[in-house]
Amino acid sequence: QNGNKAGGKTVEVIVKDDAGIPDTTRRLAQELVVNDKVVALAGFGITPSALATAPIATQSKTPMVVMAAATSAITAASPYVVRTSFTLPQAAVGLAEWATKNKIGKVVTLVADYGPGNDAEKYFAERMTLNGGKVLDKLRTPLRSPDFAPVLQKVRDAAPDALFVFLPSGQGAQFMKQFGERGLDKAGIRLIATGDVTDDDQLNDMGDVALGVVSSHHYSAAHDSPANKKFVAAFEAANKFRPNFMAVGGYDGMRVIYNALNASKGARGEALLNAMKGQLFESPRGPVLIDAQTRDIVQDIYIRKVE
Ligand code: PHB
C-alpha cells in the first residue's frame, strides 16, 4: 500500500518461518539482528516464541512487535516489546460480563494449558465469581495434540449453564466437531469462547454446531466500518481467504513500524521504539492506542455471535 520507502530509507521485509518452535524463533531472531542488522523484529505466533526472543530484543535494543501472541505478561518480558494483537484478559473479562448479564450463572472453563490459556481461565473465573456466578470446574488440555473427549465428558457430567473455552487459533474446528458429536449442544450446555475458537479463517469449515456460539474478541471480518470493508476486500484480493485476527495484528504491526520509521526519520533502537509508543490510529478492528507506558494495545472488545 505504501511502497518500499519509510523515514528516508528503503524497507526490506525478511520473512522466516519458525514453525512455532521457540528455540528456532530465538535462533532466527539472533541471526536477523547480528547478520541482517534488522531495525525491528516482528511476528511471534505463540507466547513461548515471544518469551524466548524477548532477551535478544533487550540485549540488542531492537524493537520487537508482537503481532499475534496474547499472554498478558509478554510486554513485561522486555522494554523493547510493543504489542498489536490483544491479551486474553481483555477478551475473557468482557465475556464474563456478558455471561452474567445473560443469565449464565454456572460455568465450567476449558483452556489450553499454557500462558494464554492460564490467563483466560484466571480472568474469566475471577470476574464470574466477582459477579456472583459459580465456576464448577477448571479443565485444561495440552497445547500439542489435545484430546477433547475426556474433558468433554467431564463437562457433560457437571451440566453447567455454559462452557467457556480458550484454545489457540487452529484448534477450534476440531474442538467444535467433538462438542457436537458428543451432543453437548443438545444437552443444553451453551458454548461461549474467546474469538480464537471461532477464527474467521476456519469458521466456514465448522458446520452447524458453530451456529449461535457467542465469543469475545478484538476483531471480526464482519466488523462494520469503511476501514474494515476496505481491508477485507484488499486482503481477500491478495490472499484468496478471509482475514482473521492474526491478519489484523500483522497489518497493524506493520503500520506501527512504518509510522515509527517515518516519525523518527529512519532511526533505530530506542528512538525507533519511542516513535512506536503512544501511536493512536483507526485499525480495521476499530480505534486503537499503543499505550506509551505499557507498550500494550488498548482497544474495544466485541461480543460476537455466529450466524
Ligand atoms: C499465544 O499467545 O500463544 C496465542 C494466543 C492466542 C491464539 C494463538 C496463540 O489464538
Residue type, 11: V
Ligand 1 neighbour 249 (Cβ under 6 A): no
Nearest CA to ligand 1 atom 7: 168
- Output the pTM of the full model: 0.97
pLDDT in tens, 86-105: 999 999 999 999 999 999 99
Best residue for ligand 1 mutational test, from 196, 198, 248 (most atoms within 8 Å of Cβ): 196
**Residue whose C-alpha is closest to residue 214's, from 98, 101, 126, 133:** 98
In this predicted structure, the answer to whether residue 113 has a pLDDT above a threshold of 90 is: yes
91 Cβ inside 6 Å of ligand 1:
no
* CA 49 to ligand 1 center in whole angstroms: 11
Q: Is 169 in the pocket of ligand 1 (CB under 6 A)?
A: yes
Residue whose CA lies nearest to ligand 1 atom number 3:
46
- Directed axis angle between helix 47-60 and helix 115-130, to 10°? 110
Using the mean position of ligand 1's atoms as its centre, give its distance from the Cα of residue 168 in Å: 5
The CA-based angle 148-22-174, given to 5 degrees, is: 20
Q: How much is the pLDDT for 273?
A: 98
Among 221, 236, 214, 203, smallest CA distance to 285 is for 221
Query: From the CB of 116, is ligand 1 less than 6 Å away?
Result: yes
Q: How far is the CA of 86 from the centre of ligand 1 (A)?
A: 9
**Is 90 exceeded by the pLDDT of residue 45?**
yes
Predicted local distance difference test score (pLDDT) of residue 55: 98
Question: Residue 281 and residue 287: Cα distance in Å, rounded?
Answer: 6
71 touches ligand 1 (CB under 6 Å)? yes
Confidence band for 31, pLDDT divided at 50, 70 and 90: very high
| 64-66 β-sheet, strand order | 41-43, 64-66, 81-83
In this structure, the strands spanning 286-290 and 280-283 are: antiparallel
> Band of the pLDDT at 142, cuts 50, 70, 90?
very high
Task: Give the closest residue (by CA) to ligand 1 atom 2.
Answer: 69
Determine the distance separating the centroid of ligand 1 and the alpha carbon of 248, expressed in angstroms: 14
Percent of the chain with pLDDT over 90: 97
Angle of helix 245-263 relative to helix 226-239, nearest 10 degrees? 100
